[in-house]
Amino acid sequence: MLQKRLTTTVLVTDNLNIHTTASLYKAFPPEEARRLAGRFEWHYTPKHESWLNMAEIEIGIMSRQALAKPLSDLENFKEPVRIWTVKSNAENKKINWQFTAADARIKLANVYPTVL
C-alpha cells in the first residue's frame, strides 16, 4: 500500500477550525490519533486568501476524472494523473478570476496597513 511508504504527509489546509490535530482525537482513539499526528505536517493558507478554493476545485475535478477507481500503489496513481494533466494542460482552460485588487482593498480594508 502507498501509505506504508510515506513517513510524513504534508497537509495544506485553510484555517477552518476542524483542520487541526485536535480533530484527529475526535475521530480516532488516542493512540491512533497520536500516531497520525506524528506523521502530519500542517501548513495553513493565509486567512484572507481564496486561491486555495481554486486549487481544491481543480483537485476535485482531477479526482473525479482520473482517480475514479481505488489505487493500490504509487505507480497506479502516477499514470492516470499524468494522462489527466497532459490532457488538461492541452485544453488550456483558464480560471475566471472575478475578485479584483480594487474589490480586495474594499472587502479586506481591515488587513491592509494604514498610511498616516
The grid cell for 57 is 476545485
Question: N- to C-terminal Cα distance for the chain?
Answer: 59
Residue-range definition of the domain harbouring residue 75: 2-111
Buried b (16+ CB within 10 A) or exposed e, 69-92: eeeeeeeeeeebeeebeeeeeeee
What's the pLDDT at 76?
79
d(CA 87, CA 79): 12
Mean pLDDT over each residue of the chain, to the nearest integer: 80
45 part of a folded domain: yes
Task: Tell me how many domains the chain contains.
Answer: 1
pLDDT one-digit tens code per residue, 68-112: 777 777 777 888 899 999 999 999 887 777 777 788 778 777 776
Q: What is the pTM of this model?
A: 0.45
116 part of a folded domain: no
64 part of a folded domain: yes
What's the pLDDT at 108?
75
DSSP letter at 113 equals P
The grid cell for 50 is 481564496
